[in-house]
Copies of this chain bind each other. A is one copy, B any other.
């Protein structure tokens, strides 16, 4: 028998939950600035406060959580699956949270890890989006980019994640643009200027992704060339995003392009201005993109796990 259930995406800065009815449709949602960094470890009270109106007495509603809530400093550490990892295996490795309020039955989705000494890496939350991607596009195969504070680039074959790399692009943009000497010359609150962005992309491409020698261009361009803080915001963003793309293309192709026309397609899971900037950078480098909404993949992934859980029962 199907019942209502709750999907949760719980990261370091945000808490989002969706209430699915027994027919599998989203009937309510809630979004709160209640990430790990804000709640001082008060996981259960925050959860019950947020989704309390959706709960019933007399039975436990299934709550499926993805994201940093499963990290060491989260609610309960959910062990990682090692890559290569079959995304269809995630539902077998859920981490139940014992001893909670009887109205909820909480499980946390495991993250993925890559124990290579040359490129160790971890993800939490994106694995659900990747499962969602393979659910929404069953024939998908290839490189996937998930932009963000810690952008991930993932290689997928069938339902298997074969490897991935984290780029601290979003965090570096904020750190360098606000906290370094370049902060005098960059307006990180402004929309990045399109001309500056294009110039940053071209510079990163010409430099084959070696952009560290170009960061100080921002300061000198302010002092010598009257480049504006908004132009510099675009330039810094273009440098960092294009460096990420260039390095991944080199990595993915071993220096070769993927087909006779020299084109390849990257799936980008993102939304809004950030998705637009990744798309623009890719287009400037003759790379095709397929934009996929991040929320859609999260919900599709959690729904797929929930469906598997019910099959198993």
List the interface of chain A (C-beta within 8 A of B): 72, 80, 113-115, 117-122, 150, 165-169, 171-172, 175-176, 179-182, 203, 208-217, 219-221, 223-225, 240, 243-244, 246-248, 250-251
CB distance from A32 to the nearest CB of B (A): 22
CB distance from A258 to the nearest CB of B (A): 19
- Consensus secondary structure, chain A interface: helix
Chain B residues closer than 8 Å to A217, beta-carbon distance: 119-121
Check B179 against A175 for contact (C-beta < 8 Å). yes
Check B181 against A171 for contact (C-beta < 8 Å). yes
Distance, CA A181 to CA B167, complexed state (A): 12
Residue in B120, B150, B180, B210 whose CB lies within 8 Å of A168:
B180
Residue in B121, B172, B251 whose CB lies within 8 Å of A220:
B121
Residue in B72, B203, B224 whose CB lies within 8 Å of A223:
B72
Q: Residue among A119, A181, A203, A216 with the most chain B CB within 10 A?
A: A216
Nearest B residue to A225 via CB reads B120
Distance, CA A251 to CA B206, complexed state (A): 12
Chain B residues closer than 8 Å to A80, beta-carbon distance: 224
Chain B residues closer than 8 Å to A115, beta-carbon distance: 224-225
Check B220 against A168 for contact (C-beta < 8 Å). no
28 contacts between A and B (CB under 8 A): A113-B223, A114-B220, A114-B224, A120-B217, A120-B220, A120-B223, A120-B225, A121-B216, A121-B217, A122-B219, A122-B223, A165-B216, A166-B220, A167-B216, A168-B180, A168-B181, A168-B182, A168-B215, A168-B216, A172-B212, A175-B175, A208-B208, A208-B210, A209-B212, A210-B210, A210-B243, A211-B212, A213-B251
CB distance from A53 to the nearest CB of B (A): 34
Distance, CA A115 to CA B166, complexed state (A): 35
Residue in B114, B167, B208, B224 whose CB lies within 8 Å of A120:
B224
CB distance from A208 to the nearest CB of B (A): 7
Check A220 against B113 for contact (C-beta < 8 Å). yes
Residue in B172, B208, B212, B251 whose CB lies within 8 Å of A243:
B212
